[in-house]
Each structure stands twice: as structure tokens, then as C-alpha cells.
């Protein structure tokens, strides 16, 4: 049996993942359910927003020319002819040379006015207003189409709708939006040694940590995880689980059994009913990763070690599901830090080192392969490119936050 993996670079693996990803499937949903979902079509302004010229301060609507040269010593004198009431579009008030109208924040700018003087920059004496600062044309005014002009793109396709976006959608009158259907991603854990979370492991057994971890990550990313339980390292139970999952899922993630040990059947089983496109990536941790597909359904084999599986999720699975969601690929969130210790790295593989961030210093969290505690003790990863032999203490690094 050939025990050597035909490893490919991370960029090739990611390219393959994106290439085999099915595109997003649009569905219309109520806008109030849209946050967290990914837009499948641009949201276009159906009208000018805010739709009327309005004041952005409490003050006096004026003609800017009337305030030219105004100062504390020589204020401009304007006669106050009224008060704009909020939400009243029919206001008959207008401003002519030598007059002004009081307007609260958000009030309609009266006809004839082209600027607003803040109340703080005025004094009043009877119905006269003393303006102590000049204002420029348009000052303190939001024009009717200044936020969005009719026909403008308010939110672009591919954007994940944020809580702020929900406010903008409401302001623009959208009650329905077209988003990508949430892809259903099947998760199958493999390994004779695995037992469910609720079980007490016997000698040599471990609880299935990967399925809940992968499911949680998928859910947070905007997918629907579907769990198919634990299968033994036996062809028949493996094939049964896969046959059940294939018609129900848009992609399938298998965890464990992705290497080339005699018990590792993932690649053989994918090849039996589909094709294996990648078996082995020059990434550490996470080398024994499989990318395959069966009848146009992407089927990935993730390494069994939870920390390795998590790195592969972020680096390889993330671009796959981003594409399935039609999500504009947003880079992983990073922060700058100073490296606290030298990190040696083997040339020829892209390494992801777990680090703990403290006061801007990134401390590597070294640990034996398979330790769970490094996932909790670290709060990010440093990527060391394949061509690099390590990073020196004191150098500036980008930490991928997780
Ligand atoms: P494998 O990738 O199947 O060779 O497994 C590598 C290591 O990861 C072994 O120590 C497994 O027991 C462990 N492992 C595999 N699957 C899981 C899982 N779902 N949860 C926790 N550990 C696992
Ligand atoms: Mg195994």
C-alpha cells in the first residue's frame, strides 16, 4: 500500500475547494430574519434617502449669505418667523433674506433656506435672532439624496447582513430580501475509539469532540450542520452513513481516518463512489486532509485531532462554504502583535501556530499533537508561510483571531 500522500500546497487545496463548491441558491425571506444571512442580490434604493433636505442640528434655518461676516462683535440680525414641527411636511414656513426659522434636529429645511446655524451660536432678543458665526451654503443640512440616491446600491450581494444593516434595510423600506439558502453540511465522525459525548469512555476510548466543534463553527458561519453520528472504521457502516447523508446534504465533512494507515478508509470510500481530488496538504497541523466529491457533492476528510481539524476548517473548509453562501470572501480577522518567542518552522509546509495574546505580545502555545488544552489556552493562530524557516522573537506578526 502506498503510504505517501501526494501533498499539494494550501493555495492549490483552497483553489480546488472553491472550484467544486456549488454556487449559492437564492431564497426570499423577511428582512427581520435577515441578520446573519448572506445577500444573494444587491439591495437597491427605491427612493432617495432621507428623501427631504433636513437639519442635522437644533438651530435656525437661514440663507447662508445673510450670515457672511457675522461674529460676536457684529452678529447678523435675523427675524424669527416660526418653528418647524417634526414630521410635518406641509409646513408653510419659508425663509427669505433677513429672516430665519427655528428647526429641530431632523426637521424639514424650510423653503428658501440653505443652511442651519446651531442654537449655541446664536442669542435671541424677542423675535430677533443674533447669529454670531457665519455658516456656509449647505452647512448642517443633510440633502434629500445624500445618504442614498434612488437606484444606488445600499447593500451589495455577498455581504453578510449585520445588525447595523438591518437598520439600513428598515430605513430603506425593505421588508423582504434575497439571501443564499443556508447550505446543509453533513458531519460524520469516524473511529473505532470514539464514543458519544454522553458516554463514559472505556479504556482506549475518547469522546467525539470534533462533531460538536465542527457543527458550532458551521452554524456560526451561516450553515446548517447535520450530524450523522459516529461510524466505525468498517466499510459497511461508513458507506451506510455516507449513503444516508449524500441526498440530504450540500456538502459532507468526515472527521478522522483521512491519513494512510490501514484503518483509514475515507479516501478509498470517497474514491469508490466519486473522486479524490486532494489527499494531503502541505499544512501543519492538518496534513492528512482529503478533498473529494461524490456526484457533485463536496466530501472532505478532516484530520481526527481536534486542533488539526479546526485549522483545516478555517483554512480550507471556510473558502468552500463561503463560496456556497456566495459570500464575498472576507479575510480572517487578524490583529498585529509582537512575537514573544522564536518559532522554528519546517520549510515546505504552511504552519499555523497557536498563540496566546497578552498586551500586544503573541506567546506561542506549544504542545503535543492531540492536546485539547491548546485550543482553549490560545486565542489565535500565526501563519508561517511554506517558504519560511521560522519567525524571530520581537518580529511583528499578524495573529488570526479565533
Ligand atoms: P485519525 O485522524 O482517525 O487517525 O485520528 C487521529 C487522532 O484523532 C486519534 O488520536 C483519534 O482518536 C483522534 N480523533 C479522531 N476523531 C476524533 C473525534 N471526533 N474527536 C476527538 N478525537 C478524535
Ligand atoms: Mg481514526
Checking if the pLDDT of 3 tops 70, the result is no
User: Does the CB atom of residue 206 touch ligand 1 within 6 A?
Assistant: yes
**Omega within 30 of 0 (cis) for the link into 285:** yes
Lowest mean pLDDT among 3-17, 205-219, 327-341: 3-17
Distance of CA 151 to the CA centre of its chain: 26
Q: Which ligand is in closest contact with the Cα of 191?
A: 2
Distance of CA 64 to the CA centre of its chain: 44
- What are the boundaries of each domain within the chain? 10-24+182-325, 26-48+153-180, 54-142, 334-401
Cα–Cα distance measured from residue 362 to residue 397, given in angstroms and rounded to the nearest whole number? 8
Ligand 2 centre distance from Cα of residue 233 (Å): 7
Query: 52 in helix, strand or coil?
Result: coil
User: Does the CB atom of residue 258 touch ligand 1 within 6 A?
Assistant: yes
Looking at residue 92, its pLDDT comes to 82
Looking at residue 211, its pLDDT comes to 98
Average pLDDT of every residue of the chain: 95
* Residues linked to residue 186 through DSSP beta bridges, in sequence order: 226, 252
- What CATH superfamily classification does 26-48+153-180 receive? Molybdopterin biosynthesis moea protein, domain 2 (3.90.105.10)
Checking if the pLDDT of 89 tops 90, the result is no
Ligand 2 centre distance from Cα of residue 388 (Å): 31
User: Does the CB atom of residue 370 touch ligand 1 within 6 A?
Assistant: yes
Q: Which ligand is in closest contact with the Cα of 192?
A: 2
User: Does the CB atom of residue 274 touch ligand 1 within 6 A?
Assistant: no
C-alpha cell at 159: 455581504
Checking if the pLDDT of 402 tops 90, the result is no
Q: Cα–Cα–Cα angle for 271, 275, 277, nearest 5°?
A: 115
- What CATH superfamily classification does 54-142 receive? Molybdopterin biosynthesis moea protein, domain 3. (2.170.190.11)
Task: Find cell 440616491 and name the residue.
Answer: 149
Checking if the pLDDT of 270 tops 60, the result is yes
Segment 58-67, tens digit of pLDDT: 999 999 999 9
Checking if the pLDDT of 5 tops 70, the result is no
Checking if the pLDDT of 268 tops 70, the result is yes
User: Does the CB atom of residue 233 touch ligand 1 within 6 A?
Assistant: no
Looking at residue 263, its pLDDT comes to 76
Looking at residue 368, its pLDDT comes to 87
* Contact indicator for 327, 38 with CB cutoff of 8 Å: yes
Pairing of strands 153-155, 43-44: antiparallel
Q: Which ligand is in closest contact with the Cα of 255?
A: 1
Task: Find cell 459525548 and name the residue.
Answer: 197
* Contact indicator for 334, 399 with CB cutoff of 8 Å: yes
User: Does the CB atom of residue 255 touch ligand 1 within 6 A?
Assistant: yes
Four-CA torsion 259, 265, 271, 274, nearest 10 degrees = -110
Looking at the chain, the whole-number percentage of residues with pLDDT higher than 70 is 98
Q: Which CATH number fits domain 10-24+182-325: 3.50.50.60, 3.40.980.10, 3.10.20.30, 3.30.830.10?
A: 3.40.980.10
Is the domain defined by 334-401 classed in CATH 2.40.340.10? yes
User: Does the CB atom of residue 186 touch ligand 1 within 6 A?
Assistant: no
* Mean predicted confidence (pLDDT) in 204-222: 98
Q: Which atom of ligand 1 is nearest to the CA of 190?
A: 16
* Contact indicator for 182, 224 with CB cutoff of 8 Å: yes
User: Does the CB atom of residue 303 touch ligand 1 within 6 A?
Assistant: yes
Segment 101-123, tens digit of pLDDT: 999 999 999 999 999 999 999 99
pTM of the model: 0.92
Ligand 1 centre distance from Cα of residue 2 (Å): 22
Q: Which atom of ligand 1 is nearest to the CA of 303?
A: 2
User: Does the CB atom of residue 289 touch ligand 1 within 6 A?
Assistant: no
* Mean predicted confidence (pLDDT) in 259-264: 81
Q: Output the DSSP codes for 254-287.
A: EES--SSSTT--HHHHHHHHSEEEEE-BSEES--
Q: Which of 203, 206, 374 to mutate to test the pocket of ligand 1 (most atoms within 8 A of CB)?
A: 206
Q: Which of 3, 5, 188, 191 to mutate to test the pocket of ligand 1 (most atoms within 8 A of CB)?
A: 191
Q: How confident is the model at residue 330 (pLDDT cuts 50, 70, 90)?
A: confident
Checking if the pLDDT of 221 tops 80, the result is yes
Amino acid at each position: 500500500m502506498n503510504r505517501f500522500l501526494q501533498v499539494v500546497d494550501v493555495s492549490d487545496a483552497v483553489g480546488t475547494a472553491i472550484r467544486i463548491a456549488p454556487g449559492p441558491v437564492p431564497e426570499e425571506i423577511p428582512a427581520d430574519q435577515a441578520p446573519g444571512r448572506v445577500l444573494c442580490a444587491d439591495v437597491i434604493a427605491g427612493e432617495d434617502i432621507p428623501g427631504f433636505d433636513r437639519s442635522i442640528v437644533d438651530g435656525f434655518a437661514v440663507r447662508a449669505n445673510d450670515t457672511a461676516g457675522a461674529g460676536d462683535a457684529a452678529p447678523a440680525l435675523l427675524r424669527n418667523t416660526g418653528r418647524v414641527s417634526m414630521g410635518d411636511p406641509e409646513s408653510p414656513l419659508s425663509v427669505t433674506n433677513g429672516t430665519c426659522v427655528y428647526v429641530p434636529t431632523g426637521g424639514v429645511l424650510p423653503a428658501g433656506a440653505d443652511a442651519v446655524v446651531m442654537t449655541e451660536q446664536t442669542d435671541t432678543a424677542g423675535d430677533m435672532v443674533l447669529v454670531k458665526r457665519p455658516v456656509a451654503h449647505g452647512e448642517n443640512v443633510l440633502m434629500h439624496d445624500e445618504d442614498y440616491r434612488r437606484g444606488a446600491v445600499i447593500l451589495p450581494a455577498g455581504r453578510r447582513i449585520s445588525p447595523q444593516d438591518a437598520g439600513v434595510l428598515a430605513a430603506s423600506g425593505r421588508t423582504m430580501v434575497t439571501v443564499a439558502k443556508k447550505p446543509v453540511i453533513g458531519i460524520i465522525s469516524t473511529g473505532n475509539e470514539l464514543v458519544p459525548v454522553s458516554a463514559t469512555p472505556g479504556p482506549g476510548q475518547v469522546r467525539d469532540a470534533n462533531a460538536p466543534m465542527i457543527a458550532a463553527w458551521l452554524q456560526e458561519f451561516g450553515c446548517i450542520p447535520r450530524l450523522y453520528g459516529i461510524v466505525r472504521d468498517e466499510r459497511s457502516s461508513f458507506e451506510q452513513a455516507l449513503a444516508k447523508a449524500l441526498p440530504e446534504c450540500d456538502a459532507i465533512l468526515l472527521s478522522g481516518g483521512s491519513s494512510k494507515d490501514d484503518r483509514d478508509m475515507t479516501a478509498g470510500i470517497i474514491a469508490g463512489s466519486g473522486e479524490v481530488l486532494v489527499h494531503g496538504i502541505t499544512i501543519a497541523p492538518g496534513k492528512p486532509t482529503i478533498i473529494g466529491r461524490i456526484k457533485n457533492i463536496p466530501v472532505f476528510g478532516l484530520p481526527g485531532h481536534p486542533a488539526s481539524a479546526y485549522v483545516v476548517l478555517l483554512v480550507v473548509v471556510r473558502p468552500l462554504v463561503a463560496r456556497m453562501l456566495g459570500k464575498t470572501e472576507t479575510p480572517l480577522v487578524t490583529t498585529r502583535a509582537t512575537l514573544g518567542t522564536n518559532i522554528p518552522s519546517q520549510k515546505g509546509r504552511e504552519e499555523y501556530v497557536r498563540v496566546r495574546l497578552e498586551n500586544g505580545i503573541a506567546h506561542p502555545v506549544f504542545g503535543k499533537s492531540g492536546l485539547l488544552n491548546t485550543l482553549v489556552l490560545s486565542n489565535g493562530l500565526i501563519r508561517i508561510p511554506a517558504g519560511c524557516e521560522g519567525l524571530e522573537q520581537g518580529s511583528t506578526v499578524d495573529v488570526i483571531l479565533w
